[in-house]
A and B are shown apart, each in its own frame.
Chain A
Amino acid sequence: MREILDDIDRWRNNGRRVAVARVVNIEGSGPRDPGAAMAVNEDGEVAGSVSGGCVEGAVVGEALAILHGDQQPKLVTFGYSDDEAFAVGLTCGGILHLFIEPLTW
């Protein structure tokens, strides 16, 4: 979170809406620990990361859908689990749980 604060401030000062995605849980092998955070503004600009580059593209899509859609926070899972919701996987084989929400608090 620390490393994305400056970008978030700049975007908000320019009147841009921002969504934040945070790793909340990891099953198996995963590149980043819970707390790793990434911010996306409504123009699709990105700060920070939540994996080793495997899922960031998909996270941008989710974040933009929230910012341009219903503004509702969302728990998203990446990886090859049985109840797989997304086709994007982690090359390391782990399962990554992310919480994505608009920064309206």
Chain B
Amino acid sequence: MVTSLYEQLRDHIRNEQPVGLCTVIDGPNVGAKMLILPDRVAQGSFGNAELDRIVARDALAELEAATTGVRHYGPQGQTTPEDLADTVTVSVFVESFSAPPQMWIFGAVDFTAALAKVAKVLGYRVTVCDAREVFATRRRFPMADEVMVSWPGQLFTDRGNTLGPRDAVCILTHDSKFDVPAVLGALATRVGYIGVMGSRKTHERRMQRLAEAGLTAPERIARLMSPIGLDIGARTPEETAISICAEIIARRTGRTTPSLRDGSGAIHS
């Protein structure tokens, strides 16, 4: 049975497999589609082999970067402004459906359950990890995608290479025998956000332990958000989860997180 492009797109999105959809939105062949899958030949055509090749190449790059937007081409895939000056333009909407970002939470505590809940609302794939078998149970964290009984170092060794700039590591254990290997493991990855929970006193002691473990380079220390979260006066696990997730968003967007009331300019930009 032949599966339509839409059905293939739908199945890949549901299975959380990265997939790109390219649509001609202006120019010749409006509505024409190409489906882009990593490591596979693109399906569909815009009517010119060279145009197809260039669009597929660009769409794969957009898929890797998890970005979506409109790109303009000449009828044979021309991309430079000089080449495009005297020709018909094909405008292509390149849409990326990436696998969801990951959040790894270390420490199976009350704050973990609240953070996992908020992270799910934001679309994260959530992994909860704790070395203590009695705490790291599915029953305590039904909202998590995965609950692992493991030492932090092991998880980073096994899967640290899957973490990238869109992902987050939140270390909530405040016990240096877990915190130190988790922080060092996270710093060895390309993960975009590393937050570590604890009072200012805990933080001081932890930085001391980390220094003893060899963490002294200022640019590596600067990657740590510790103590974790925005200063919004959060008290409960749920409020703290909001403060952590808000900090993750603000770090990603590069904002200094003033209140909307006190700022000016566009809210969405």
Write the residues of chain A forming the contact surface with B, with a CB cutoff of 8 angstroms.
Answer: 1-2, 5, 8-9, 22, 24-25, 28-31, 33-35, 72-73, 75, 92, 94, 99, 101, 103, 105
Contacts and interface: CB of A to CB of B under 8 A. Distances in A.
Contacts of A101: 23, 31
A31 B30 contact: no
Given A73-B30, A99-B93, 8 more contacts: A1-B95, A2-B97, A8-B10, A28-B266, A29-B267, A34-B68, A72-B31, A73-B31
B6 A99 contact: no
A24 B25 contact: yes
Interface of B: 4-6, 9-10, 13-14, 23, 25-26, 30-31, 33, 68-70, 93, 95-97, 266-269
A92 to B, nearest CB: 7
B68 A33 contact: yes
Contact of B13 (A5, A30, A103): A5
- If over half of B's interface residues share one DSSP class (helix, strand or loop), that class is named, otherwise mixed; here it is mixed
B268 A29 contact: yes
A24 B93 contact: yes
A37 B97 CA distance: 13
Contact of A75 (B26, B266, B267, B268): B26
A72 B25 CA distance: 11
B5 A105 contact: yes
11 contacts: A2-B97, A5-B14, A9-B10, A24-B25, A29-B267, A30-B268, A34-B93, A75-B25, A99-B25, A105-B6, A105-B31
Shortest 5 CB-CB contacts between residues of A and residues of B: A73-B31, A35-B68, A24-B93, A29-B266, A99-B25
A35 B14 CA distance: 16
A70 to B, nearest CB: 12
Contacts of B97: 1-2
A105 B96 CA distance: 18
A99 B70 CA distance: 11
Contacts of B269: 28-29
A92 B68 contact: no
Contact of A22 (B5, B95, B267): B95
A105 B93 contact: no
A93 B14 CA distance: 35
B179 to A, nearest CB: 35
